[in-house]
A and B are shown apart, each in its own frame.
Chain A
Amino acid sequence: MARVLEFENVVAQHYGPLYQFAFSLTRNEAESCDLTQQTFYIWAAKGHQLRDISKVKTWLFTTLHREFLGSRRRQTRFPHIELDDAAGDLPAVQPASVNQLDSEQLLEALGQLDEVYRAAVVLFYLEDYSYNEIAQVLDVPLGTVKSRLTRGLHRLHQLLTNVPPRP
């Protein structure tokens, strides 16, 4: 019974952000639900192996990301879009125009990011994760996270600059 309650607490605390992360990665509601559910299923089966309970959140995000990558490997690979070098001038996307965007447009722009950058960017905005924590979730070195964020944000701002305002 205690185990069930503990599980319910973990779900209540994290299912929202996990779903947001999944949806930002997949842009598909059903797939996001599956990923979120699968993550908690793995937690139920293996979560007891986690010794440091403060790492639950990171553990869940890492697991969801791995599951996402695994599911992508099983599917047809998305075409890889090479980013322009980030050394150029930064696009001047205005905060006001960001406010005018709806979530759908933002997700559409995120969806155009390469998966490698998308996960880092979503974690960057979604959760108050430090660069180190993002590196842990994605299982990459800190320098790689910073590089992915720089390139991913640069590309995202480019994409948002080109979004036509909704009527």
Chain B
Amino acid sequence: MNSTQAKQILIIYRPGMTDADDPEIAEALSMVRNDPGLSHWFDQHCARQIALREKIRQIAPPAGLREQIISEYAARTKAALRREKILAVGCVVAILLSFAVLASVYLPRNHVAPPLPNTLANYQNQMIGAAVSGYYMTAMTNLDQVHSWLAQNHAPSDYVLPVGLKKAAVTGCTFQNWKDAKASMICFRQGKTLPQGQPGDLWLLVIDQTAVKDPPADAPPRVATIDGLATATWTQNGKLYFLAARGDEQTIQKYL
């Protein structure tokens, strides 16, 4: 190794570092001690390296860079946390919605029927349903008892029976609820015997006519067949009368 080669190797040597551990550099350094010219160059080289190192290290970061990096990190962390929270809430909502959908598909439905409009037709249907499907009745054999019982139970008792119906045999009475009102239900027997299990086959239902929004006008009773029963409907002195009987429309005419 000559002096020029040693300089080429030592150009990457920095004083105060571990560069001398490199075997090539160590060899070049050993030459420095025995070569005054090389030694002079080496001294200058070391001073130059230190000066260059200092110059580069003088580059100052702009004021506020550190704070900017940290605040940027904090903002990103915050945004990431917010995203995680939104994602978590979204997942919970999605799970709940899935349960709701599954429940609506697989669980038995418990529908609440909308309230029945208080029309005459609905009233007639409900009363016929009660008469046909069965009801609890207080058995009685005369109309005075019926009158008293209905009055005591705050059901309409100031009714006027049609002439024909007065001839029928009374079997008892009860009342049916319709909206917020009570309908008196007076039960009669058309023939001498009734089919087994039936407390009547002729029914008169009386309620305030305001209980339905479309009561018939004060006129001759309107006769019609509803759900297999012969019926007659009329109003009188603020009361709505509804007479239903097993049989045909001619049958019911006998009781008006």
Contact = CB atoms under 8 A, between A and B. Distances in A.
Interface stretch (B16-24, B89-97, B140-148): B16-24
A12 B66 CA distance: 7
A87 B14 CA distance: 20
Interface string B126-165: 0000000000000000000000000000000000000000
A98 B55 contact: yes
B8 A103 contact: no
B58 to A, nearest CB: 5
A128 B61 CA distance: 19
B68 A90 contact: no
B18 A37 contact: no
Contacts of A19: 59, 61-62, 65
A56 interface: no
B72 interface: yes
Interface residues of A, number: 46
Question: For chain B, what secondary structure do more than half of its interface residues adopt (helix, strand, loop), or is it mixed?
Answer: helix
Given A37-B69, A37-B72, A125-B52, A154 B59 contact: no
Interface string B48-67: 11111101111101100110
A162 to B, nearest CB: 15
Contact of B56 (A29, A92, A122, A131): A122
A55 B68 CA distance: 24
Question: For chain A, what secondary structure do more than half of its interface residues adopt (helix, strand, loop), or is it mixed?
Answer: helix
Contact of B22 (A12, A95, A131): A131
A94 B61 CA distance: 28
Given A11-B66, A15-B69, A29-B62, A150 B8 contact: yes
B48 A95 contact: yes
A135 to B, nearest CB: 12
A50 interface: no
